[in-house]
Each structure stands twice: as C-alpha cells, then as structure tokens.
Chain A
Amino acid sequence: MAFVEFANLSVVFGSGDALIRAVDNVSFTVEEGEIFGLVGESGCGKSTLLRAFCGLNDNWTGEIIINGTHMKPRREREFYKQVQMVFQDPYASLHPRHTVNTALLEPIKIHRLDKPNERIVNALLVVGLGPNFRFRYPHQLSGGQRQRVAIARALILEPKIILLDEPTSALDVSVQAEILNLFRELHQSQGLTYILVSHDLSVISHLCNRLAVMNNGKLLEQLDVKDLTGNTPKHAYTQELFNASVGYTERLSESAGRLKEGHD
C-alpha cells in the first residue's frame, strides 16, 4: 500500500464560461521515504494540488489517502503534525513582525508541546542556524537564512511528509546548493517523505527518483529520473521542458513555447 495516494483529484474554480480546471483528474502514488517530483510550468496545477493536499484548499473532489486514511476536506489538528510545507518565497513565508523565535514558538504553542526552548534551539541547529538567529526579524536575514527558518518551522512538529513548493527558485545559486544539500541530509536523517514541486528539471533530477509532469491541470506522464536523460520515449512536452533546461540554442527554441502558449 502506498504511503500517499492521489486518486482522481480535481480542483475546479469558477463556473460556466469562467470554469477553470486547475487540477484535472490527477492520480499518482508516493512511497514512504521517497522524494517524488512534480514538474510543470506556471498554471499547470502543481501548487494547487499541494495546497489541496495540505488542507489550504478544501474544494477538491476525488481521494487523498495518507497511510490508508482517507482525507476529508476539513483537516483535524493532528493532521498538521504529519504534513508540513515549505513555501517558495522566503521573503513572504515568514511573518514580517515576528522574530524567528516567535515563528518557531507558534506551532509549539498551538499544539501545546513541551520543552519549547529545547525544541527551538534544536530546530535551528538541525537547519544549520545557530542560537544567534533566534531573536532576529526576517528583514535581518538573507534569503537562504529565511528559507532555513522556514524549514526549521516545518520540522518543529516532526512531520512525516514535507511538501516543497519551489523551495529554491527564489534563492541565489550558491545558496540553492546549500539548501538542496540540507534537504537531502534531513531526508536521510529524519526518514522523511518529500513531494517536491518545481519547474526546474535540474533540481528535480538532483533530488528525486521519480517524477510526474503536469500541464494545464492534467498529469501527462510519470517517469523515472533516469529516463529524462536516456532515450526512452517521452511526452513531447516533457522533451520540451528538458530541452529548455539545457540552455538556449537557436534551433531548438523555434518549437519551444508553442505547446505552452498555444493561443498566441
């Protein structure tokens, strides 16, 4: 039995002419301890899917099954100790008026956990930040430091599944490497399961073993990461994404973009 299963998940916004199928009948599974990648460009539904999964969005249809339990639209508080999320923009995911300490204390208070001090100090250590960072405000931190705080915050409740929504796309190249390494390390030391969403195939191929490609709300295909570079036949769109991530070349770019912006 898979650890996480999505079955016929759909998220629909609006109605009538303005109906948008943000997520259209998506099904896939994730094994325990796996790092599963979800690739697609903006508007493909990957972030909407994550939000439906973690309970931020409750107008979905279909099935979300975690460890055998079927999820209802309204989550119970215990759920949040199982699933947490790290957001894309480190400049927007920390409350500007709260210190790091307050941000880390919040989940502890909400769930009435014991030993708050120890938990906070430990969480900061685990993500590579020392106790000096405890009483800083977000604007005093760099992008990489903020993202580390966001990761510490996600880890405080000791979840089993962490959703990563483009966690490094807003970071500098050198910082991205550090954060990716941190994710790898935490995955191994804490036995976590990740669902990693990104538009960057190189990040996905670095961390994940399996991935799914989404476009326009639909899941186009699932493949192993090693199939990306190999000669196994892929969906045309997947090939497009792959070509684009290699870099700019005049010939190939003629066909690029047509599949994305067909309505030019």
Chain B
Amino acid sequence: MKGKKTADERSSYKDSWRAWLRAEIAYSPTQARMQRLYFGWLRFIENPMAVIGLAIIVFICLVALFASLIVPGSPTAQELEIRLTSPSAEHWFGMDELGRDVYTRIVHGSRITLLIVLLVAIIAAPVGLAVGTVAGYFGGWIDTILMRTTDVFLSFPGLVLALAFVAALGPGIENAIIAVSLTAWPPIARLARAETLTIRNSDYISAVRIQGASNWRIIFKHISPMCIPSVVVRITLNMAGIILTAAGLGFLGLGAQPPSPEWGAMLSSGRIYMFESWWIAAMPGTAILIASLGFNLFGDGLRDVLDPRDE
C-alpha cells in the first residue's frame, strides 16, 4: 500500500514516473502519447487564466458528483413557513418562493447543467466534424449540399432555432438537449471544413493516398485527428453559449420542467421576486456566470496549447 512506503520510496516512485514521461526514447505507443500529454499539460499550466478556468470546471464537476454528500437535504423539499427568507447561517443562499433551500437547489442543479453541456458536446462535435470533413474532402456537389444545409441552420439565431425544435418536440430536458445540439453543430462543421480544405493538399495526405488508402480511411484516420484540436477548443468556448441557451430555454419554461432545480428555470421563477428577494434569481444567475466563465477561460488556454501550427 502506498501509505506504508517511506517518504524516500514515495519520492522515488514519483521520480520514476517523471523519468518515464521525460525519457528521450519512448518504447511504446502509450508512452509516446503520455509524453505528449505531459508536455501539453506543462504548457497549459503556464497560463494562469486557463488554470483558473480548469479549476472552476473541476470544482463544478466535483460539486455535481458529490451533490448528495454536500447537501443532505432534497432540492424539492419545501418548508413553507420560512419561504422567502434571506441568506443566513443555516441557509446560505436563502429560501425561494416555495420554501426550498436555494443552496441545495443550486448544488443539485449543477448536475443538470453539466449533463446538458456534456450531452450537447458529445452530439454536436462528432456531427459537426463528420459533416465538415466530408464536405471539405470531397468537394463538389457533396460539399455544396452539406454546406448549404449548414448555412440554413447557421442563419437562425441559436435560441430561436432551439425554441422552434422544442416547440415541435415538446418541453422537457431531453428535447432541450437535442434542440441545443442542433444549434451547436453548424459552426463546428464550418470549422472542420476549413481545416480540411487546408490539410487535404498536404504531402502527408498525398503520401497516404499513394499507399492506396480509401477516402474514408483518409478522412477518419488522417484528416479528423488534425481537426480535433480546433473542434475541441471551439466546442469548449461554445459551452458558455450552450449553458446560456439551455438556461434560456429553462427560463422560458421549455427546458427542464419544475420542480427540477435547473439553473435557468430557477432564474425564471426568481424573476418576479427580484426586488424583494434578490437571492432567488441572483444565485442561479451567478452560477451560470461562473460556469460560462470557467469554460471560456479553459477553452482559451486549450487553444494556446493545441494549436497544431506550433509544431
């Protein structure tokens, strides 16, 4: 067990890890990849803002993960006698209009926010990447069809488009996620296409073509990996927008349905009480702000590290 090692043994264990990462020669694909990540990490942490962003994201993740441990109560439990009380020692963020502890709701609401953000990213990024790389690589009418479709999606303001889909599909968190994903993939497709256009004439792509690689192999194994860094950065920077769009839907009552502690919905219901009981709206609003900020700072830092042109 690690705990039973002496201080010397523990520090030499750490040293051997560091030696493995800093070794001149890599002896396996894993070691090569780990080394690359390690040096990327070193570059990332040079940027204090990026580290702050990462810290915020990690913090929110931890809060979401351990929500039930942090706040023992239920986010929907009501204590109507003390409704609308201001922040105090027992209820840090005060009580809302239905006597629910705002702090508990914020903490549980982080799960919903993270869920939305994660699912949207998982749906939108691959779709955008696929559409963009295929359009960019093949060109011609494939490019035209795919890009004009993308343009149609892009020409709608995000919230309006999401609204239209939710209106058609019905309110609820799953439909909200689908709706927001549909607004998030077009910019990714544009980006991936632009990158593909630059890359497809490179010598290393020509080299694999004259090895007899099929088009799909080239797109999947050779072109996409080059687009991934910018797509990752872009989607991270878009996460702030995703959170806000989801919050907007929630604000309009079209996202997560009550009594779910989704931050946007909390913001909406707190609106009427804004002047007397400011905390009901201000707390979720601040939470949204901090989450968006975290993703923005992290995304900026990622961009500095992942720019393939550096290499």
Give the interface of A toward B (CB within 8 A): 51, 54-56, 77, 79-80, 83-85, 87-89, 92-99, 101-102, 106-107, 110-111, 132, 135-139, 150, 153, 157
Other than the known A87-B207, A88-B203, A135-B27, what 14 A-B pairs have Cβ atoms closer than 8 Å?
A56-B209, A80-B211, A83-B210, A87-B206, A93-B203, A97-B225, A98-B225, A101-B29, A106-B208, A107-B211, A107-B212, A110-B211, A138-B311, A139-B311
Ordered nearest first, which 4 A-B pairs have the shortest CB separation?
A: A135-B26, A93-B203, A80-B212, A135-B32
Asked if B36 is an interface residue, CB under 8 A from chain A, the answer is: yes
Q: How far is the CB of A8 from chain B (nearest CB, A)?
A: 24
Q: How far is the CA of A79 from the CA of B209 in the complex (A)?
A: 12
In the assembled complex, the Cα of A181 lies from the Cα of B36 at a distance in Å of 33
Partner of A54, one of B31, B32, B36, B210: B210
Contact between B29 and A92, CB atoms less than 8 A apart: no
Which residue of chain A has the shortest Cβ distance to B31 in the bound complex? A135
Q: Is there contact, CB below 8 Å, between A89 and B28? A: no
Instruction: Decide: B26 and A84 in contact? CB cutoff 8 A.
Output: no
> Is B308 in contact with A150, judged by CB distance below 8 angstroms?
no
Expressed in whole angstroms, the Cα–Cα distance for A97 and B213 within the complex equals: 17
B202 CB–A CB distance under 8 Å: yes
B203 touches A136 (CB 8 A): no
Contacts of B207 in A (CB 8 A): 85, 87, 93-94, 150, 153
Which residues of chain B have C-beta atoms less than 8 A from A94's C-beta? 204, 207
- Selected A-B contacts with CB under 8 Å, 27 pairs: A55-B209, A56-B209, A79-B212, A80-B210, A80-B211, A80-B212, A83-B210, A92-B202, A93-B204, A93-B207, A94-B207, A96-B226, A97-B225, A97-B226, A97-B308, A99-B32, A101-B29, A102-B29, A107-B212, A110-B211, A135-B25, A135-B27, A135-B28, A135-B31, A137-B32, A139-B311, A150-B207
A79 to B222, alpha carbons, bound, how many Å?
21
Q: Which residues does chain B contribute within 8 Å of A111, judged by CB atoms?
A: 211-212
Q: Is the CB of B212 within 8 A of A95?
A: no
Q: How far is the CA of A94 from the CA of B210 in the complex (A)?
A: 13
B 286-311 to A, binary, CB cutoff 8 A, 1 in contact else 0: 00000000000000000000001001
Check B217 for interface membership: any CB of A closer than 8 A: yes
Residues of A within 8 A of B31 (CB): 135
A96 engages B206 (CB within 8 Å): no
Identity of the chain B residue whose Cβ is nearest the Cβ of A80 in the assembled complex: B212
A94–B222 alpha-carbon span in the complex (Å)? 11
**Chain B residue with the shortest CB-CB distance to A77:** B212
Contact A106 B203, CB 8 Å, known A96-B311, A135-B29, A135-B31: no
A137 proximity list for chain B (CB < 8 A): 32, 36
CB-CB nearest in chain B for A95:
B204
**A92 engages B209 (CB within 8 Å):** no
Q: Which residues of B contact A98 (CB under 8 A)?
A: 225
Interface size on B, residues (CB 8 A): 26
Closest Cβ–Cβ distance, residue A38 to chain B (whole Å): 18
Contacts of A89 in B (CB 8 A): 203
Q: Are A87 and B203 in contact (CB under 8 A)?
A: yes
Interchain CB contact under 8 A, B308 and A96: yes
Contacts of A132 in B (CB 8 A): 25
Q: Is the CB of B209 within 8 A of A157?
A: no
Q: Give the complex CA separation of A26 and B87 in angstroms.
A: 86
CB-defined contacts of B209 to chain A, threshold 8 Å = 55-56
Could you tell me the distance between the alpha carbons of A83 and B212 in the complex, rounded to whole angstroms?
Answer: 11
Instruction: Evaluate contact between B204 and A92: CB separation under 8 angstroms.
Output: yes
Q: Which of B26, B27, B211, B311 contacts A157 (CB 8 A)?
A: B211
Closest Cβ–Cβ distance, residue B59 to chain A (whole Å): 31
How far apart are the CA atoms of A132 and B217 in the complex, in Å? Answer: 28
A136 touches B32 (CB 8 A): yes
Contacts of A107 in B (CB 8 A): 211-212
Which of B26, B202, B212 meets A110, CB within 8 Å? Answer: B212
Determine the distance from Cα of A95 to Cα of B311 in the docked complex, in whole angstroms: 11
Which single member of A84, A96, A101, A110 contacts B217 (CB below 8 Å)?
A110
Give the most central of B32, B211, B221: most A CB within 10 Å: B211
B28 / chain A contacts, CB cutoff of 8 Å:
135
Chain B residue with the shortest CB-CB distance to A55: B210
For residue A101, which residues in chain B have a CB less than 8 angstroms away from its CB? 29
Nearest CB on B from A118, distance (A): 17
Question: In the complex, how many angstroms separate the beta carbon of A52 from the nearest chain B beta carbon?
Answer: 12
- Are A85 and B210 in contact, CB atoms less than 8 angstroms apart? yes
Task: Point out the residues of chain A lying under 8 angstroms from B204, CB to CB.
Answer: 92-96
Which A residues are in CB contact (< 8 Å) with B32?
99, 135-137
**Which residue from chain B places its CB closest to the CB of A56 in the assembled complex?**
B206
**Listed residue (B31, B207, B311) with the most chain A CB atoms within 10 angstroms of its CB:** B207
Q: Known interface pairs A93-B203, A95-B222, A110-B217. Does A84 touch B210 (Cβ–Cβ under 8 Å)?
A: yes
Minimum CB–CB distance for B224 against chain A, Å? 10
| Chain A: CB-nearest residue to B26 | A135
B307 to chain A, nearest CB (A): 12
Considering the chains assembled together, what is the distance between the CA atoms of A87 and B208 in angstroms? Answer: 12
What is the chain A residue whose CB lies nearest that of B213?
A: A110
Tell which of B203, B213, B308 touches A92, judged by Cβ atoms closer than 8 Å.
B203
**Distance in Å from the Cβ of A166 to the closest Cβ of chain B?**
11
